[in-house]
A and B are shown apart, each in its own frame.
Chain A
Amino acid sequence: MRIITHTCPDCGTVVSANELEANRVMKCPGLDCESVLRFADLPADDREHFLEHRERYRL
């Protein structure tokens, strides 16, 4: 299973695609980091793959 992540450019916290997709737009979960992370920040290929296989990324 392809595991897709995104790294916050400000604090280096790594966030999985399922977390990004669940929120679409979210404050970085890194403590005291004010960055805004978006599902749209992922490369188009990753987004497409995730959305095509969305059920696999849900428990």
Chain B
Amino acid sequence: MKGLILAGGTGSRLRPITHTGPKQLIPVANKPVLEYAVEDLREAGITDVGVVLGHKGREAIQAFLGDGSEFGVDVTYIVQGNPLGLAHAAGCAREFVGDDDFVMYLGDNLLNRGIGRLVEDFESGDYGASIALQGVDDPGAFGIAEVDEAGEVRRLVEKPDDPPSDLALIGIYVFSPAVFDAIEELEPSWRGELEITDAIQSLLDDGLAVRSHVVESWWKDTGKPGDVLEANRLVLSDIDPASEGTVEDGAETRGRIDTRDGAVVESGAVVRGPVSLGRDVTVKEGAYIGPYTSIGPNSTVADTHVENSVIIGDAEIDASERIVDSLVGSGATIASADDVLPDGQRLVVGANSDLKL
């Protein structure tokens, strides 16, 4: 079996963070989202991995993953170019996949328990596909599957007015190579894309069985800033912390604190986990880092309260303020305006930023 990670898309809902890099490299608990997908594939025994690239972030993703050897996989890059839909992305991988089955994994998705059970379900029978589903509160906003008592998918409907179930497709699929013929038969949808739901429906119409796999633990699409914070909270809740850094005498720490090489919690600082401190992070005297916060490499926090936030890295934060529920991009500086006249906030803010002052 092969793996296919879709790492295209513009990341428009994550601007301005995605002005300078692809959404798949935004870190959650100090690890890029994309790396979780690679790990899930590898842990399911899949080491031959195709990575589909769009227009944005091609070089950054290739620079991060390289040939995959650092992550225990062998990576082939597939350049989709125009975003013509998930089924088009899959279709571009036909030569790479060949006659194998394959897992297709959206590269901005996070799954708590991995994909082992999904793959086992697919391999337990003669299926054209297996799709991961999760119960949602608002099925009218999703692609929804109608599933019979045996767990086989009967039909798919996109954003239904009258949903046949609350089981939404979550962006992780296993396909037999039969899907490529189904994709060849597709026509672009009203939005000009080849839809993967149409390809799966085509498999059903051709008489192939499609297995459902309901994900009971958490799953997260990290498409928006709030989703990144929520994913960070979920991952930190379960983190097995590294202890590579230094906690000085006189520092106050409590809970699980993940510290990477060179991280320092100085005397007089307070850190309450779960927290992740990246490589060469310094938490200085007077700073407070509260639960569900990840601070990226080469950052310094002084005299500031930071809680339930993701600081991507290379940041200088010294503001005598409380920063909560925030996503701070790479290389940001947040300083105090207390001693600066005239009184007021001073901002150098990128396009599409979102501030609450």
Contact = CB atoms under 8 A, between A and B. Distances in A.
A1 B76 contact: no
Interface string B75-91: 01111111110001001
B188 A1 contact: yes
Contacts, number: 70
Contact of B184 (A1, A31, A57): A1
Contacts of B162: none
Contacts of B81: 15-16, 18-19, 22
Interface string B7-37: 0000000000000000000000000000000
B187 interface: yes
Interface residues of B, number: 31
Contacts of B83: 59
A30 B62 contact: yes
Contacts of B295: none
A13 interface: yes
Contact of A14 (B78, B186, B192): B78
B281 interface: no
Interface string B50-63: 10010000110011
A54 to B, nearest CB: 11
B93 to A, nearest CB: 7
A41 to B, nearest CB: 14
3 A-B pairs closest in CB distance: A19-B81, A3-B91, A31-B62
17 contacts: A1-B184, A3-B94, A7-B95, A12-B76, A13-B78, A13-B79, A14-B93, A14-B95, A18-B84, A19-B80, A22-B81, A29-B79, A31-B62, A57-B82, A58-B192, A59-B82, A59-B192
Interface of B: 50, 53, 58-59, 62-63, 66, 76-84, 88, 91-96, 183-184, 186-188, 192-194
